[in-house]
Amino acid sequence: MRAKCRLRRYQGVRPMLRVISLLAAVTLSASTMAASVEGVWKTETNDEGGYLEITVSPCSENASLTCGLITQAVRSDGPNPDYEHIGKLMIEDMQRDDERRFSGGTIWDPEADKVYKSKMQLDGNELEVEGCIAFFCDGQTWTRVE
């Protein structure tokens, strides 16, 4: 009789361990997916209703760094295939500081044709991008497209 009691006590442990393992795997895979900065990002809309799409991926010369290429320009009335900066790097050489933060690279402002030190912070499907001069920073919140 005593052996049966012991057996019953542990019968519920195995299914519970399976559930815990499954939840842990789902949580880890979701956090890994959420932490990926790679993809296509939409900049904030300008005063004329246009925006850029930036494809963020490992830099071609150093895959441990992150770069962002202007892949599309959109006006208020639709795509602008004649935009002169398509194919140019907007973000260069960003280093991953932790799961969500990047720094050490630069960002190019095509409207002003100036390059600034940059940092980025990933928050789900939003990317906070800042350009800085000394301690003064200004930025945008980009939205994930893909």
Distance CA 33, CA 69 (A): 21
Q: Give dist(CA 70, CA 57) in Å, integer.
A: 12
With bands split at pLDDT 50, 70 and 90, how would you rate the model's confidence at 8?
low
pLDDT of residue 48: 94
Contacts 24+ apart (CB under 8 A), 95-101: 95/64, 95/65, 95/66, 96/66, 99/31, 99/35, 100/35
Pairing of strands 78-79, 89-96: unpaired
- Tokens 């930036």 correspond to 54
* Residues 44-70: tens digit of each pLDDT: 999 999 999 999 999 999 999 999 999
Q: Is the pLDDT of residue 140 over 70?
A: yes
Round to whole Å and give the CA distance between 69 and 57: 8
Check: pTM over 0.85? Answer yes or no. no
Q: What pLDDT digit, counting tens, does each position of 103-132 carry?
A: 999 999 999 999 999 999 999 999 999 999
Q: How far apart are CA 90 and CA 81, in angstroms?
A: 17
**Helix residue ranges, H only, the chain:** 2-11, 13-34
Q: pLDDT of 62-101, one tens digit each?
A: 999 999 999 999 999 999 999 999 999 999 999 999 999 9
